[in-house]
Amino acid sequence: MPAYQLIPTCKDYIWGGQRLKTDFGIQSGLNPLSEAWVLSCHPDGPSVLADGPDKGMTLRAWLDKAGKEALGTACEAFEDFPMLIKLIDAKKDLSIQVHPSDAYALEHEGQYGKTEMWVVLDAEPGASLYYGFDREVSLEEFSSRVSDGTLTEVLRKVPVKPGDVFFIPSGTLHAIGAGLVIAEIQQNSNVTYRVFDYGRLGADGTEIAPEKLVEIYVQERALLTGETLSEDILLGHMQAANSITTFQFWHEYLHGSACGRVRGIYEKMGK
């Protein structure tokens, strides 16, 4: 089978720079140029064949035409193309964000969740990233710090250098810091919940609705502790968090929210 070159889809999120053009040869008229999706079958940014008889066809369309056998036997178990590879140029800090698990994302977003891996291609002196909490944090404290802008005080800040590799399981709070160029190898998903963005306007994900914040927190905690995820547990967490500013916005999110289970419990509280 011949090898094909691919043309990436590019993104111009507010935190990007120009290094993907100047240092990595990505051709794009975007300014800033934040991401290049160099291997993608995702509908939000498919790669396109750059040569061959099917030049101009998206990779997704080409695979539909060529059949699953074009990917080899390792991909036969997957209903969809399993990977997405990006180059990321972070001139500024990215938001503090989290990606849901497969179970949560399939139920609420209609696509897979997102576990990813970062390979640091370049790093300015003093560059760092955030990777999870640096200590145990309760839901109440977590929500309070999202509201008052002090969330980074309880996150693990990691200095990085070129060649470093990080594995980011779904449910892990994380953020790429300013001055980093990263190759991201991830699941074929575009579900990002932006938890805290330093007061900026402009999206590199979906602003997380508070009821999703609670359910993701409780589900991921249950995976770590073995605690049964019951309605009583959810209700207890939500009642404890109810006085925190972040959760004062729940009422306007609940109407039309996909998180019907949490919405129903919240309504039991008389809100």
**Residue tagged active-site, from 19, 194, 200, 261:** 194
- Three-state SS at 66: helix
Dihedral, CA of residue 113, residue 117, residue 118 and residue 119, to nearest 10: -150
The residue behind tokens 């051709």 is 27
Axis-axis angle for helices 231-241, 260-268 (nearest 10)? 70
Per DSSP, which regions of 107-262 are E strands? 116-123, 128-133, 155-159, 165-168, 174-176, 180-187, 193-196, 206-207
Per DSSP, which regions of the chain are E strands? 6-7, 9-11, 35-39, 48-49, 83-90, 96-98, 116-123, 128-133, 155-159, 165-168, 174-176, 180-187, 193-196, 206-207
d(CA 201, CA 214): 23
Residue 200 designated active-site: no
Cβ-in-10-Å burial (0-12, 13-18, 19+) of 7 comes to buried
- Full strand arrangement of the beta sheet holding 96-98: 155-159, 128-133, 174-176, 96-98, 193-196, 206-207
Examine residue 169 and say whether the peptide bond preceding it is cis (omega within 30 degrees of 0).
no
- DSSP class of 221: H
Catalytic residues: 194
